[in-house]
Structure 1
Amino acid sequence: MKKKKKLSKKKPEAPVIFANQPFRNLDILFRNAVTETEQSVPEGNTPVDKNDDEFFFEAMRDVQEIRAFREIKVPARPAASISKRMKNLNEGRAELEGIVNGKQQIRLSDTQEYVEWVNPLYGREIVRELHQGRYAVQDSIDLHGFILGQAEEALRTFLAEARRRGFRCVKIVHGRGLRSPNGPVLKHAVTALLSSRYRKRIIGFSTARSNDGGLGALYVLLA
């Protein structure tokens, strides 16, 4: 009978020791840092999380006011009175309701079709008075149905005759061109001629009153 061989125990290998051990003392440093932190907090003062306001006031604790800034005068912006705005709003609403109901006329001078012109030698007040009907109309011409060339010739003859007869205020009916595909062609032509070719013979012109042709006619004041 064979004898069992005894297993020989190997000696434990010695641990390998590296020459470069940068983290050898890391645990010691960490324990020391924790100890110092605990010692730096006084007893009874447990650190509390701060909100944004507390951080802000702590950061601004040493900030000092520059008193010279108190002397700088900032102009106050005048605030429109609420009552005044309401008054204007109510007046505008009442005026609009009056126009819709036919109780009040539209001011032609507030429309885009209104036209006026005054010779630079005279004051602008003249055309305002002209539009208001302060000057009596002594003669008139209606250019409806005229083609452009015919209208120019008729206008030239009309103005020459009015000057010969000593008239001061005349009316020219040009229409509004609402049915024309090209718009108020006659109106543009008449106002252009009066303010250029015939400007030396004219003091001014303006849109007629609502009951006298309105936006489709002109009052012309001759020099």
Structure 2
Amino acid sequence: MTSKDERLAFLEEMKDVRRIRKSNRADVAARTELTPGHLVRQQAAVEAKVRDVNPLTADVVEPLTAHDVLSWQRPGVQHGVFKKLRLGQYPIEARLDLHRMTVEEARKEVFQFINDCVNYGLRSVIILHGKGERNPDGVAQLKSYLAKWLPELEPVLAFHSAQKRHGGTGAAYVMVRKSDHEKQQNREMHGGA
């Protein structure tokens, strides 16, 4: 069969086929009618309160100034360990900078940061909170809140204002507890029960 014969055979087979006059595009226009189910789900979403699992409180705190030193440790933290933290002798494994954040933004960031430190096995970190020297009332607002928040977080073992080379009283070294997984690994490695 030649190409001319093939073409004639094809046209003979297709003689009853008619062109589709409608557009071959899908109708993607959004439906404007809302079903009763849509309305119920929409109302439930509006009324549902977002559950805040962050335990940090944002009520009134004791105001601290630029030069106040932060210092706190949980019972059981060894004196030598706290001294080493206070002197900035542990390597800084992560940092969080709170400068230019609102109190609410800082509250969320501190909570998430400490949880991330536990998850990633970071033990010695620094939080830069600023000194608040430019505040007209002389109150270091974020520093004041941080001093209240850190003891509220169970994974925080201790914290202390940083050495001058790391920000002085505008930053705080934070010691974070080992995760349960790390504790178990330590016991297995050192033969503990």
Report TM bin, short chain: 0.5 to 0.7
- 1:193 match: 149
User: Deviation string for 1:43-85 (max 9, x for gaps)?
Assistant: xxxxxxxxxxxxxxxxxxxxxxxxxxxxxxxxxxxxxxxxxxx
1:1-223 aligned within 5 A: 113-182=68-137, 183-195=139-151, 197-198=152-153, 200-223=154-177
Aligned length: 111
| Corresponding residue SS for 1:175 | coil
Taking the aligned partners of 2:135 and 2:67, their CA distance within structure 1 comes to 18
User: Deviation string for 1:117-147 (max 9, x for gaps)?
Assistant: 0101223433221121221100001000001
Which of 1 and 2 has higher RCO (CA within 8 Å, sep 6+)?
A: 2
Amino acid at match of 1:117: W
From the superposition, tell whether residues 112 and 142 of structure 1 become closer, same or farther in structure 2 (CA, over 3 Å): closer
| Corresponding residue SS for 2:157 | strand
Taking the aligned partners of 2:82 and 2:159, their CA distance within structure 1 comes to 6
Task: Return the offset for 1:112.
Answer: 5.4
Amino acid at match of 1:201: P
From the superposition, tell whether residues 213 and 116 of structure 1 become closer, same or farther in structure 2 (CA, over 3 Å): same
Taking the aligned partners of 1:131 and 1:150, their CA distance within structure 2 comes to 27
| Unpaired runs of at least 5, structure 1 | 1-110
- Is the Cα contact below 8 Å between 1:118 and 1:124 reproduced in 2? no
- Is the Cα contact below 8 Å between 1:117 and 1:127 reproduced in 2? no
TM-score w.r.t. the length of structure 2 is 0.55
From the superposition, tell whether residues 119 and 132 of structure 1 become closer, same or farther in structure 2 (CA, over 3 Å): same
TM-score w.r.t. the length of structure 1 is 0.47
| Corresponding residue SS for 1:117 | strand
| Corresponding residue SS for 1:180 | coil
Amino acid at match of 1:159: I
Identity %: 27
Taking the aligned partners of 1:180 and 1:116, their CA distance within structure 2 comes to 23
| Corresponding residue SS for 2:125 | strand
